A and B are shown apart, each in its own frame.
Chain A
Amino acid sequence: MRPLLLLAAISALALSSCFSPGDGVAPPLNRLYFPTGVVLDSVNLDARGAPKFMYVASSDFDLQYRSSSLVSFDLARIREVVPVNCNSNADCTQDGTTCDMTATTQNGGVPSFFCVSADQDPCAGAAPQTEGQKLVYPGRCAAVDIDHPQDGRSSLLVDRVGIGAFATDMILRAGPQTAETVARLFLPVRGDATLHWIDVGTDGHLNCGQNNTDDQSCDDIHRAGNNPLENVNQIRQPSEPYGVDATADGEYIAVTNQTTGSVSLYSGGLTSEGPKLENILSGLPTAPVAIAAVPVPALSAAQKLSLTPSFLIAYRNAPRIDLLRVRGKDSSDAGHPALGYAGSVPITVNALGYDSRSLVFDTDARSLDYAECAKSANCAAPDQCEQDPGYLDCAKRARQPGLFVANRAPSSLLVGALTPDPNFLAGSSELPAFTDNIALTAGPSRVVLGRVRVAALASDPDAITDDGAPYKLERRVFVVCFDSRRVFIYDPGRRVVEARVITGRGPFALAIDDIRGLGYISHFTDSYLGVISLDQRFPKSYASIVANIGVHSPPRASK
């Protein structure tokens, strides 16, 4: 049975996933290979505010190559190869296209409700998948070749570099703003136990000192944490880094180390020298995997000075969430930024509370309340309410950021928020409390925040009319369930699971492209991206995979 063998192979590999860079076959840079990180470029935006580029990190999980790759996708090109949904011909605005809404020979008797050109082919040159293929690789049409897409036009890729093997996660922060760089990517890499950092240019090109060889490998400068001489305590990044997050300004980056029960702190994330390993907080429960930077409240600059950056950590082996706080250089004369344990809450909202895999904050409600407070205090914006006691009092009572946790014991989404506590300046101790747990299917592994397109009336003040019928964007929480091949779409406003996306094997990382109404899910097992329609105006395709990017590549052990 192939799934069984696949699981066996993957698990066996997981047990032996130690890697040391060396000679071997160079990784292919024009394909995905066990992709684990997907990030949209929130800095390079088009005129509509949509991200221009997407970065996907592969992990070389089965040791077939000597390292792995990071590629930059052109999202406009991806949009061109992803079918356009329609309900009627009026939705097909591109010249010569009509809505495929009747049974034809070309659509095999099943209308696709895609905009099709004159040839009426819903797959636009790609072969339609068989029913059997669709079971394993959901989506109507064959996968789009990354470098040679079936539309005959240019590659979907903008750039590609080589990274160490077994990247586990990836984040992006704006800056440093230079002529060549507008954003920076950070990736924990298990193979060489480093934090990779890669600069992103305005054109989506990547710069990590790559060596212009066949694997375009990043240089040593762009691998932080492996040089004990770079910090005063001569420490080195522990093995098995896993989760990563950074403060909004990119100054501090924290990485969870899953086998040592520790968290590494890097500082200077956006400096020209790159991040520097400063401190390793140990003594935590083993297997810290989930991490999220606590969002900084919109208080005045003077007030923010008293708020020190912090992170929430969750574990596979402990039913609790810890608050770790950065003690910055300003806090001490010794001059070492350090991560300190600041508090903990047990997870009691479900039966066991063990095995939390991912957590994410939602600050929408607090932002709305802050704006109302600023309005009441006659400030133009929260940041300008300098020491206004009325604003401060109002802000302290604002709704606290929501928190969502993917937990596996039992499989559920934990719904909560930072605990209100008037003893603190921002109105919260920054420790969470949970109010609900939502039942999921097996293996929740990642939780992501995003928005979906919802049909709206033109008279709706929030209505957007830049793409056909009016729509508006509504907040959703997406939970990826690796084991059961599902992505749950949870509506936090209505507190219901709105839809379940059936994915291919091993859904892993997910990024939501709000503006285009699409989601991109990396399939770890078969090494491709699935594109999910997140536009409720088109109910026949909403919450389903409408395209596959990258040729499906089952693991060698299952071939």
Chain B
Amino acid sequence: MNLSFPSSGYLSALLACARGLAAVATGASLLSLGACSQTPVTVDLHSLQASGKVSFVCRADDGDPAGHKLDECPDYEHATRHLLGLVTQTATNEVAIVDLYAGRVVDVDPTTPGYSFLRVGASPGSIVTTPGGSASFVGVTGFQKNGIFALPSTCLSAPTAGQVSRDLTSWSACSLSSAPGEITVLVDPPGKSGAIRGACDGTAQAKPDQDGRECPADLTAEGGAPGRRKLLVSLPDEHKLVLLDAQSLLDRAPGEFTGCAVEATFGLGAAVPSTPIQPVLPPDLQVDPATPGADACVATEYPALTSSEQPTPDGFALSGQTLYVGDNTLPVVHVLDVSDPCAAAEEEPLLPHSYEAPNRVVTTSRVAVSPLTPSGKRYVYAVDRSDAPSSVMVFDVSPGSSTRTPLVFPNGPKQPYLPPDRLRFGPNVKDVSFVQRDFPAPDPATGVGQYGLACDPYPDSTSPATQYRPSVDYSAGARPLNLRGVFGFVLLSDGHIAVIDVEDFDASCRRPVGVNSSQFEDFRGCAPDKPAPGESTLPASFVNDGAPTVTNESTCNIIEPNRPRAASLSVSNSTVGLRAPTLRSFPQFENPDPASLLAGNERPRLLAVDFPNPDPKVETPIPAQVNISAQLYANCPATIGAAPCDGTAQALPVDPVTSTQNSLVLPLSEPRSYAADESPTLTYEGALFTPSRTSGFIQVTKGAPSAILHDPDANFCGSAGVEDSDSILTEAAALEIPESGGRRAAWAKAHADYVQITGDFPDSDDVYWADLAGATNSCTRDLCAAEFGVFDNQADLSVSRDLSILEASGAQLVVTPRCQKADGTPDPACDPALVLQDIHCCFPAGTAYTVRASHQWLLSGPSGTGSAPHDIAAGAGGRCVHTATCDPRKKFFHARAFEVCNSDKDADPDGTCRATDPTVSCVASAADIPVSPAGVARQCIFEDLTARFVVYRGARASTRGMSFSWQTTGGFTPLTMSLSTQSPLPTSLSYLPEVGYLAVIDSASVGLSLFDLNSLGVVSPSPFF
């Protein structure tokens, strides 16, 4: 119901409490009060309040208002069967009825103002419906009001003539000894003789005691699988599950609330393993024992688990005769064989763990189990509730699978925004569900469609599966919005629902047209291709009669099982837009010193470099290529007929001698490496802290040449990635700086990061100058200004404020004055101890400072502040060390680029491009430039997950603050749906396969929303609220 109200500050507070006619009356009052206001606003009035969960019922609305199976609804022909949603109302202890066919919320007592629903005895929790739709069961929790209420489908409406009002006494119910958690309906199947037992003790099924009832329910006669309906109920506080007979509960006299008759109890005895668990790691996360230093790495083995906690059942997921039960206290997901509900047997549990934090006790809340995919896979998704934010673990429970720990996915090192064994999003995960769907295309020959056919991309094929190929304009066939396959859906606390690729039937048609005929993965992440089934040779490309048979996306990894689904095609062209990793324009160079005009050859150059051939035995590189806006650029020595050098690409500049533009290339193997839009900056001697930190305290010992800078919150290792003169030796080794003659040590000293004090001295009227400095020191504010300069121009601070970092650890740096002149050359007159004494006097309180890279270029992080992802962390003793050797996830993390200088005289008029100069990293002659992947100075090629380039020094040395900046777009954007409210509190998610809708419950405002998986939009007239 919508009403237009004048704008008023009180509306929102009042309307939160408003309901039904009472709310209308309130609104009318407000109308009169605010009649002078000129800006009417539309306010939605809500009939649902604090919705929790939903169960769906198919109910006849004719003379026999009984329940039906869900696939018997709706009945469009006669409109006698309506699909109802039963929505728990946790704040009002009711169950609301939403008639999806009629598109309205049902008022079960029209004589009372406002909406009335079905009242139950306490706050409703879980709600389930029997397979034949005859009755629904609601678990209620309240202090000493715990129990289960049975709602016969015959009374899921307003009372008819002659019936009394629906109230607590309308329902059969029973009490439980503690609060019920999840409930599921199990079917106790007929015995071998075909007889159905009425109780677990073997008592024969009797005729239900429903005669004369106003709300009868006979489960023995309902549709669905034959057998006795049982309710399996978790009692978390008692650490167990109990089994109840559903019909027996319905047979109780309405209005009573005596103890439930428990037929069986299951104690959940799964033991936590006491021996270490071996995770199954993909090859790219295994530490190569042959790697130097690998012996010092911590073994990638989950520790033995010990826990004295008792199991606490949480979410349920039923798949056939197997029930998965999350555990709120133990790191297990219980697995129960419920083929005989009366004798459910616990099997080996699944073992939730965290690859990132193996010591953390991972507990689970909601769980979901997928259908068996056409390729024979089945997965359990379990919400890791103790993760921050809560995330989703994936277990492989396929037939024959013996893995019990969460799957650790390949390509983890290339997906910096996702843990390798988790689906994690910014907001918390509230619920998970699976959807399996297909639209079988009829076989032209037989007219019969086959479910689950994988798209056939092979150009010469004529199989029915070729019908799933994408159309040229992407309006049909394989594409992101065409959900054909098995997909996971993850409900997030911000009201979004993320789509997860489990098994996309169209995955084989989502790729580049090029064929990878080598034996190695190429730079687009394409694995070696195989010929079509029954063929022996590869096609030249995935093109048929000039039209691609695939989407021609930039990468082969746009779809990865159990990873978030992309919202768009990874294609950049004028038709689709910029959806693949793409440069918006050529990188721009900026010199912060406007007085220093540089000629073209004096500037440093940022330039693309070819990709190495995936086959290490082949030296011929793959031409550098990149999309700049919608145009492809490539480094093609000649038109050779094959993409990208087939005449379609424009020339990509790579040679610093001839190029006038800067450039770089974007690695394409993993689209999930890229955020949607990024604006990186590569800065010479860039700052690790932007803005400066304001809380550095410098501790100076009189006469000592070094001092300690304290900052307990700086996290110099983990967050900033500070390189001291020890840790940067790792970079020196990678750059092949020789150790002989102390060259590597000298290089390390020159390249270690340095502290730059960016703060001011105490104010001139500060009592410090009169009291402390005047009494104990000889410095004055004027002297401080003379030595350390003013701080007004942050881009031009005095070099006397620079302190080289000798040792870096989490909260402190050991520093010594850098002792350089303004031109960067050493200052022989500098006495470190005296400089530190002056710093001690001039910066007595906490001072602002930053840390800068030295004689190198620093790549900024995605947000434009600090450095890009790096592999530095606190090691033994707290010192900052490189960890990529032991942590393969950081293999591609780089933030620092080292220049290549041209040693030819024209390019180096000062003669400073010498390998013996500790400030120089890579030297190449003119013949070796441009740098190639296998050539001289190849070690100075920079490549991380989102950029590949070489920085060439200009004829004049680079100076602090010079920068290159560029913009990328077309990064990975996950496919999501969204609740139509700004401030949701989503609580649960479920799939209604009979109508193909995804149902989402929002506790705050929009109640029940139904999503159409064809459009990924909310189905009108939902949301119901």
Contact = CB atoms under 8 A, between A and B. Distances in A.
Interface of A: 1, 3-4, 7-8, 11, 232, 306-308, 323, 325, 327, 331-336, 338, 340-343, 348-352, 397, 409-412, 416-417, 419-424, 429-430, 433-437, 439, 441-443, 483-484, 494-500, 536, 539, 542-543
A9 B613 CA distance: 76
A443 B1003 CA distance: 15
B426 A348 contact: yes
A250 B710 CA distance: 25
A551 B332 CA distance: 55
B230 to A, nearest CB: 25
Top 6 A-B pairs, shortest CB-CB distance: A433-B388, A333-B844, A334-B845, A442-B16, A332-B845, A439-B1003
Contacts of A308: 712
14 contacts: A3-B14, A7-B10, A323-B713, A325-B712, A325-B713, A332-B846, A334-B845, A411-B985, A419-B388, A421-B715, A423-B718, A435-B428, A441-B91, A484-B16
B725 interface: no
B713 A351 contact: no
Nearest to A412: B985
A308 B811 CA distance: 12
Interface in B421-439: 426-428
A341 B693 CA distance: 9
Contacts of B768: 333-335
B427 A349 contact: yes
B472 interface: no
B9 A352 contact: no
A410 B1005 contact: yes
B165 interface: no
A478 to B, nearest CB: 15
B141 interface: yes
Contacts of B16: 441-443, 483-484
A434 B983 contact: no
Given A307-B712, A350-B427, 18 more contacts: A4-B10, A4-B29, A11-B9, A306-B712, A331-B845, A340-B846, A348-B427, A423-B718, A423-B878, A424-B810, A434-B389, A439-B50, A441-B16, A441-B91, A443-B16, A495-B328, A496-B141, A499-B143
Most-contacted residue by chain B among A1, A332, A335, A424 (CB, 10 A): A332
A481 to B, nearest CB: 10
Nearest to A408: B983
Nearest to B983: A410
B762 A334 contact: yes
B694 interface: yes
Contact of A437 (B142, B428, B713, B771): B428
B952 interface: no
A144 to B, nearest CB: 26
B717 interface: yes
B662 interface: no
B762 A494 contact: no
B13 A7 contact: yes
Interface of B: 9-10, 13-14, 16-17, 26, 29-30, 33, 50, 90-91, 123, 141-144, 179, 236-237, 328, 357, 359, 385-390, 426-428, 493-495, 694-695, 697, 710, 712-713, 715, 717-718, 762, 766-768, 771-772, 810-811, 840, 844-846, 873-874, 878, 982-985, 987, 1003-1005
A498 B385 CA distance: 19
Contacts of B846: 327, 331-332, 338, 340
B309 to A, nearest CB: 11
A423 B715 CA distance: 7
Given A410-B984, A422-B874, A423-B718, A349 B17 contact: no
B713 A441 contact: no
A332 B844 contact: yes
B845 A327 contact: yes
A199 B55 CA distance: 59
Contacts of B878: 423
Nearest to B1003: A439
B427 A341 contact: no
A430 B359 CA distance: 20
B985 A410 contact: yes
Contacts of A417: 388
A254 B29 CA distance: 43
Contact of A352 (B237, B390, B811, B982): B982
Contacts of A429: 713, 715
B26 A1 contact: yes
Contacts of A434: 388-389, 428
B713 A342 contact: yes
Contacts of A351: 493-495, 982-985
A424 B982 contact: no
Nearest to A232: B767
A48 to B, nearest CB: 25
A1 B494 CA distance: 35
A543 B143 CA distance: 9
A364 to B, nearest CB: 16
Contacts of B385: 435-436, 495
Given A352-B982, A397-B359, A410-B1005, A435 B715 contact: no
Given A435-B390, A539-B143, A350 B494 contact: yes
A1 B32 CA distance: 12
Given A333-B772, A423-B718, A437 B493 contact: yes
B389 A433 contact: yes
Contacts of B713: 323, 325, 342-343, 429-430
A114 to B, nearest CB: 18
B237 A494 contact: yes
A185 B762 CA distance: 34
A1 B27 CA distance: 11
B810 A423 contact: yes
B17 A442 contact: yes
A164 B260 CA distance: 59
Most-contacted residue by chain B among A343, A420, A496, A497 (CB, 10 A): A496
Nearest to B387: A435
B392 to A, nearest CB: 14
A340 B710 CA distance: 14
A97 to B, nearest CB: 24
A454 to B, nearest CB: 10
Given A410-B983, A423-B718, A439-B1003, A341 B694 contact: yes
A110 B357 CA distance: 57
A8 B772 contact: no
Nearest to B33: A4
A103 B683 CA distance: 83
Given A327-B697, A409-B983, A419-B388, A333 B845 contact: yes
A354 B941 CA distance: 45
Contacts of A232: 766-767
Nearest to B713: A342
A483 B13 contact: yes
B19 to A, nearest CB: 12
Nearest to A8: B10
Nearest to A5: B33
B389 A348 contact: yes
Contact of A336 (B30, B123, B141, B845): B845
A349 B9 contact: no
A421 B427 contact: no
Nearest to B30: A4
A408 to B, nearest CB: 9
B10 A11 contact: yes
Contacts of B388: 416-417, 419, 433-435
Contact of B494 (A4, A348, A411, A420): A348
Contacts of B328: 494-495
B786 to A, nearest CB: 20
A295 B237 CA distance: 30
Contacts of B26: 1, 4
Contact of A350 (B493, B718, B767): B493
Nearest to B1005: A410
Contacts of B715: 421, 423-424, 429
Nearest to A354: B983
